[in-house]
Structure 1
Amino acid sequence: MSANSWCEMKRYWWTVGVILLLLLQGCSVTPMLKLTALDSGGSLAGKWAFLPSGSAEMPADNARWQSITVPGNWYTQGYDHHGVAWYRLIFTATTAPEMISTLHFNGVDYFADVWLNGKMLGSHEGYFQAFSFDVTPHLRSGENTLLVRVNSPLEKSEDFSLRKRLIKGIFSHHDTRPGGAWSERGQEKNTGGIWGTVRLQQSAQVQLVAQQIQVQPTQGLEQWLVKVDLGVFGTLPANTQLHWRIGAWQGNSPLRNTLLIPIANPKLWFPHGYGEPNLYKLTVSAVNNGKVLDSFERSIGFRKVRQSSQEIWYINDQRILLKGTNYIANQWLSEMTAADFRRDIQLMLGAHINTVRVHAHVTAPEFYRLCDEMGLMIWQDFPLQWGYQDTPVFHQQAVSQVSDMIRQFGHYTSIIQWTLHNEPPWDADWMQWKYPDYNPQQNKVLDQRLYQAASKLDKTRPIAAISSTQQHPWLGWYSGRWLDYAKPTKVATIAEFGAQALPDRFTLAKIIDEVSALPRSKVDWQKWEYHNFQRKETLDIAKVSQGKTLDEFITNTQQYQAQLTQLAAESYRRQAYRPVGALFQFMLVENWPSMNWGAVDFWRNPKPGYYALQRAYQPILPSLAWNKVSYALGEPIKLGLWALNDSFTAYPAAQYQVSLLQGNKRLDTQRFNLDLSADMHQHMRDYIAPSLAVGDYRIEATLHDAQGKQLSSNEYRFTIQPQQ
């Protein structure tokens, strides 16, 4: 054996030995990860090297890189980390003269600094925006090294929670975060990482970027204008033109930064249940001598949205009552696939929800695309939740990010409103009891600046500066009684109402380590509270009985949520346009393994509250107006009989039937005819029950069309108690 061969063999076995030793010591060793070739879309998805070092300094050559999947939040891959983490990837690319290459990131939480082949490309702040860099001068034919420093820090203790710095909404401070809103553990399970896709886009000579797309009516519902603001990059050959196509419409224009496209008589986009969610594909191409140099596509719809001064909504000039829910899909956005979003949208449509409030955050783009396709309207919040710093630097960053949100997501037809701040300090006087240094003017100037910036960018849909505490009644949870929802409201927009409910026992055991009994000790309750359960509100304000067993407690919380949900939803619907224009239950699903306000648990198992909402939101509903569920023996029982029809369809010569039952025994039935007109919300008459003995009863109401087909049904349960 030669000396060289012997040295090579020793080096080989020495390396193997070191790796084995490190593995035995629990160290992770990852070689330089490489993508040998990009796919046709230029995707850089796959395994990257990862270093959760916490240090902002460039990693040393001997750093012990680990492995992570991109896209993905780092917590979902076993890294319970906050602060700085490094990502590295070696990939192979090809370049050519006059080729333009752009590196695109579709979501990094929260600060990002990017280098390619040792050259710093730039930095970015914000978790939801897409951003990109021109890498043409730095990209090599062959191997390239991409390095990304991501920083998702904790808020400083002196700033959290009243003067936050990070624009992350519910991903940094909220009741449904791991640990809740107000505990010292409320920033755990960090949402950081490269959670969106990363890709390299290459094209010849020129690249087109859709900076903003707006669709607005210019004359009635017949004449429309599609405005496309373009970024045009590269060296343009002479005679290059823009070619555009929308469905059967197409045309050419000189290459410029704004493209104005008039469209006549398109098929309109309607919400689910009110018509078809018609969409068109917009294609814009840079063409030179018949050759397409670059192009992009977007789906757009033609939809007019308006809100009156009384906060009543009109879609394509048709009055519509918004029946909604609040929604946070998941604490870690990379966990949500298109199939997951589709399932959640189907849950919403299955409960007759026509509008979803994306609560105090911006979610993944796939959700908006599916809402466009499936006809679900969106009330979109900007990710500001409660209090933030009032500094020029923060104000400037917030204005920049709200502008990014509108430009990036504004072409989605399903978005019908922007709301810029949820419960800001200047509108939340409850904060005076929580913060000794509460300032009743905090963030007011910030919200004025956000509203001014947003209003300049988008004139096609309503914009609300805030979601006000006045719009969040929370009766029977943070104040008052759940039966107070039977009283009239003076508020036109109900942005939040609801109550917590425990999931079923099987699900609860997955959340709280095989729980089998009611919590008894302080440690037991701390586990529940970490998973968002609110003990004071449940036991002291809602006065839900624990019962003697865990099963009884689960049942009691679920029945409470269901009763409150149905009463509130029906009461607000009966007040449609007098004054209610919109109502939003809080909330559809639980966004991590927790037990909070979801009508559906984290694993998407509906609770009774979901079915109560489904019943109350039926487009056609024989609504029963009541304000109590227990009567003394001999006390008169009177219910209001209402006919509600949110649809655009009339049903002349319909029949209303109401029956009183005890068990399976029918004690009384009354019927009357009515003309059920479109968009009708009317009190028809009252039902007075006959004298009843002590016991449990229910009233069933149905609506049938002229042919006898049942359109809808409803029920109300009550008890007659012995006289005291």
Structure 2
Amino acid sequence: MPFFKSFKTCFLIVAFVCLTLNLAAQSFMMNPYGCKDAVLLNGRWNAIIDQYGRGEAKKFFQNRKPQKNTEFVEYSFDGGLRLDVPGDFNSQLPELKYYEGNVWYQRTFMAKKDTSRRQYLYFAGVSYEAAVWLNGKKVGRHEGGFTPFQFDVSDQLVDGENDLVILVNNNRRVDGIPAMQFDWWNYGGILRDVFFVDRPRVHVHDYKVQLKKGFEDVIAGYVQLEGASSPQPVELSVPELNIKQQLTTDAKGRASFEIAAKPQLWEPAAPRMYQVAFTVGSDAVSDEIGFRSIEVKGSDILLNGKPVFLKGINFHEEIPQRMGRAYSDADAAMILSEVKALGCNFIRTAHYPQNEHIVRVAEKMGLMIWEEIPLWQGIEFSNPVILKKAETMLREMIYRDKNRAGIIIWSIANETDPSEYRDKVLTGLVDMTRRLDGTRLVGAAFDNMTYHKDVSTFTLEDRLAEAVDVVGVNKYMGWYMPFPVEPEKIMWDVAVDKPLIMTEFGGEALYGQHGSKDVAHSWSEEYQEEIYRKNYVMFENIPNLRGTSPWVLFDFRSPYRCHQRNQEGWNRKGLVSDKGQRKKAWWVVKNFYEAR
């Protein structure tokens, strides 16, 4: 292909993606959970399975019903399938277990049209793509299954009953994030909460409240109003700190602030949270916010100025006993109670931003968090479309969770192969992360270490490792790679001037299956237990080790896993089985953390 044609094609692709993203969902409001004018639309929704993708051509979004005796309509939302929202569709009907494709959702809700106010539909997460119609009119679309989006529906809303239709598609795509193959279940559906939000025309849209970087006695941030065309008075209050500050926005509705205060700092042993509220006119938003500092000094991670060792665990946003996505406070409590029982102070919400219930409950329980976007293997970094999508997902993740003290590390990728395109894209994302939020650390997880047999040493040469603050290492010694020598003889020379976290390690075992601790294909608890013991011996030779995060807390569903006897569509690396039973390795990890 001639250069001009190639360049022109790439330019048109990028231009199209930019246009699509810009015309998609609007910047979503901060924290609808703390807004008094937000109404949940959760519950049982009507649904149609559209396997052949004919719904748009047939105009399912109009939700037509026959008006004359001579008319008929070849679809109907009434009297058929009903699905729970929030919830994935794969776990709600046996026929949908492996389904990938279109599902239409429909429900009605009552509202009062008021031209003096602004009305929104807010979706906390829909996988993977969503197109939304209200009263037969398209209001927008969104791509990405793990971050919120919203639409202003003030013009489409009617007084009384409103008809809401959503087309959801979870097809895996070469240019999707994640891409075609990933080691977890491809759950589709309206996975998280849905809100109808009716607010004053001038209202609080966004805010940031955190410690000023480098200070423990200054609270800094901003508030951004929507609908303001002139300076507006905004009240910021933090009653427990005796703060009641009157702010005045600029003509664009923004006000920045710095306030002297001495909050008790958030930490795992005492996760202190403060009630923070913004009020403008009749609109008010409240939030629970903690204050802490996080930084790197040499190879140490400093929380509130003191070195901390991250005693972590990975888990998916999944309830294994239900074989479906987690979506509620109760689900968060179930997962995180097992995390705390293990003795953790740190979690890695692999491999995507998990729902706000999990993030907020974890924060209140004193858990530090590594949160990442789903750039997981197999990503076509040479495709210009990928960069725009990755930037959007990163921006949405940071925007949603910037006030969460529990989050200490933003991760931009997991197990990606170095290349010219990959290095350029990911180092660009590192820079972008620091521009968006300079108060947290930036990390990535690597699996491309090299073992040098002559000196029994692992090394890592990767431009991305040089760019991040914290290096995560995924290495399954004893599982995907046998120990080449005794564990105590293996040395590590990886990013020695930076903190290193063993972000993944472990092996598979079927709960209740017993066998030799020396035979990998026994799939026994004893072999998994021995893997952990040997890894902890090896970790003593990592001078800059500042945390561990075994893979994984619970067995989880994955089409990757095809061993008919021992996996049956499950990744069995869990310390806890899919039925909630603790394996022998659980106690090895527990004892390691108790000794730290």
Instruction: Tell me which of 480, 483, 499 is aligned to 1:481.
Output: 483
TM normalised by structure 1 equals: 0.64
Instruction: Tell me which of 551, 554, 566 is aligned to 2:533.
Output: 566
The answer to whether the aligner puts 1:446 opposite 2:393 as a matched pair is no
Task: Indicate if the aligned counterparts of 1:226 and 1:260 stay in contact, CA closer than 8 A.
Answer: yes
Alignment-derived partner of residue 21 in structure 2: none
The answer to whether the aligner puts 1:127 opposite 2:145 as a matched pair is yes
* Shift in Å, 1:564: 2.1
**Counterparts of 1:70 and 1:475, CA distance in 2:** 41
- With over 3 angstroms needed to count, the CA separation of the structure-2 counterparts of 1:48 and 1:424, relative to structure 1, is same
* Shift in Å, 1:279: 0.7
**What amino acid does structure 2 have at the position aligned with 1:601?**
S
The answer to whether the aligner puts 1:459 opposite 2:438 as a matched pair is yes
- With over 3 angstroms needed to count, the CA separation of the structure-2 counterparts of 1:335 and 1:265, relative to structure 1, is closer
Task: Indicate if the aligned counterparts of 1:425 and 1:442 stay in contact, CA closer than 8 A.
Answer: no
Q: Which structure exhibits the higher relative contact order, with contacts defined as CA atoms closer than 8 Å and separated by 6 or more residues?
A: 2
The answer to whether the aligner puts 1:395 opposite 2:387 as a matched pair is yes
Mapping 1:107-186, distance limit 5 Å:
107-155=125-173, 164-168=174-178, 173-175=181-183, 177=184
* Shift in Å, 1:303: 0.7
Alignment-derived partner of residue 18 in structure 1: none
The answer to whether the aligner puts 1:544 opposite 2:514 as a matched pair is no
Alignment-derived partner of residue 606 in structure 1: 582
**Counterparts of 1:334 and 1:414, CA distance in 2:** 22
Task: Indicate if the aligned counterparts of 2:411 and 2:443 stay in contact, CA closer than 8 A.
Answer: yes
- With over 3 angstroms needed to count, the CA separation of the structure-2 counterparts of 1:475 and 1:219, relative to structure 1, is closer
* Shift in Å, 1:484: 3.8
SS in 1 for 2:220: strand
| Aligned length, in residue pairs | 491
Alignment-derived partner of residue 367 in structure 1: 358
**Counterparts of 2:351 and 2:218, CA distance in 1:** 32
Alignment-derived partner of residue 63 in structure 1: 75
**Counterparts of 1:484 and 1:354, CA distance in 2:** 30
Instruction: Tell me which of 340, 347, 367 is aligned to 1:356.
Output: 347
SS in 1 for 2:545: coil
**Counterparts of 1:98 and 1:40, CA distance in 2:** 14
SS in 2 for 1:566: helix
Alignment-derived partner of residue 415 in structure 2: 423
**What amino acid does structure 2 have at the position aligned with 1:43?**
L
* Shift in Å, 1:401: 1.1
Task: Indicate if the aligned counterparts of 2:147 and 2:353 stay in contact, CA closer than 8 A.
Answer: no
Moved more, 314-323 or 64-73: 64-73
Mapping 1:685-696, distance limit 5 Å:
none
- With over 3 angstroms needed to count, the CA separation of the structure-2 counterparts of 1:418 and 1:482, relative to structure 1, is farther
Alignment-derived partner of residue 280 in structure 2: 286
The answer to whether the aligner puts 1:202 opposite 2:198 as a matched pair is yes
Q: Percent identity?
A: 23
Instruction: Tell me which of 189, 192, 215 is aligned to 1:193.
Output: 189
**Counterparts of 2:481 and 2:200, CA distance in 1:** 63
- With over 3 angstroms needed to count, the CA separation of the structure-2 counterparts of 1:369 and 1:253, relative to structure 1, is same
- With over 3 angstroms needed to count, the CA separation of the structure-2 counterparts of 1:322 and 1:335, relative to structure 1, is closer
SS in 2 for 1:148: strand
Instruction: Tell me which of 379, 383, 389 is aligned to 2:370.
Output: 379
Alignment-derived partner of residue 594 in structure 1: 570
- With over 3 angstroms needed to count, the CA separation of the structure-2 counterparts of 1:615 and 1:240, relative to structure 1, is same
Which one has the largest radius of gyration? 1
**Counterparts of 2:229 and 2:138, CA distance in 1:** 24
SS in 2 for 1:75: coil
Alignment-derived partner of residue 289 in structure 2: 300
Task: Indicate if the aligned counterparts of 1:419 and 1:467 stay in contact, CA closer than 8 A.
Answer: no
**What amino acid does structure 1 have at the position aligned with 2:531?**
L
Mapping 1:570-649, distance limit 5 Å:
571-572=538-539, 574=540, 578-592=543-557, 594-618=570-594, 621=595, 646=596
Task: Indicate if the aligned counterparts of 1:500 and 1:595 stay in contact, CA closer than 8 A.
Answer: yes
Alignment-derived partner of residue 687 in structure 1: none
SS in 1 for 2:332: helix
Q: How large is the RMSD of aligned CA atoms in angstroms? A: 2.6
- With over 3 angstroms needed to count, the CA separation of the structure-2 counterparts of 1:484 and 1:585, relative to structure 1, is farther
TM normalised by structure 2 equals: 0.77
Task: Indicate if the aligned counterparts of 2:316 and 2:349 stay in contact, CA closer than 8 A.
Answer: yes
Measured against aligned partners, the alpha-carbon deviations of 1:429-467 in whole angstroms (never above 9, x if no partner) come to xxxxxxxxxxx4352222122212211101001112553
Task: Indicate if the aligned counterparts of 2:408 and 2:441 stay in contact, CA closer than 8 A.
Answer: yes
* Shift in Å, 1:396: 0.9
**What amino acid does structure 2 have at the position aligned with 1:109?**
S
The answer to whether the aligner puts 1:105 opposite 2:92 as a matched pair is no
**What amino acid does structure 2 have at the position aligned with 1:243?**
E
* Shift in Å, 1:480: 2.6
**Counterparts of 1:374 and 1:570, CA distance in 2:** 30
Task: Indicate if the aligned counterparts of 1:168 and 1:383 stay in contact, CA closer than 8 A.
Answer: yes
**Counterparts of 1:466 and 1:616, CA distance in 2:** 22
- With over 3 angstroms needed to count, the CA separation of the structure-2 counterparts of 1:323 and 1:484, relative to structure 1, is farther
Mapping 1:208-287, distance limit 5 Å:
208-210=204-206, 213-218=208-213, 220-221=215-216, 223-233=217-227, 240-246=232-238, 247=240, 248-255=242-249, 256-271=253-268, 275-287=269-281
**Counterparts of 1:127 and 1:545, CA distance in 2:** 36
* Shift in Å, 1:261: 3.9
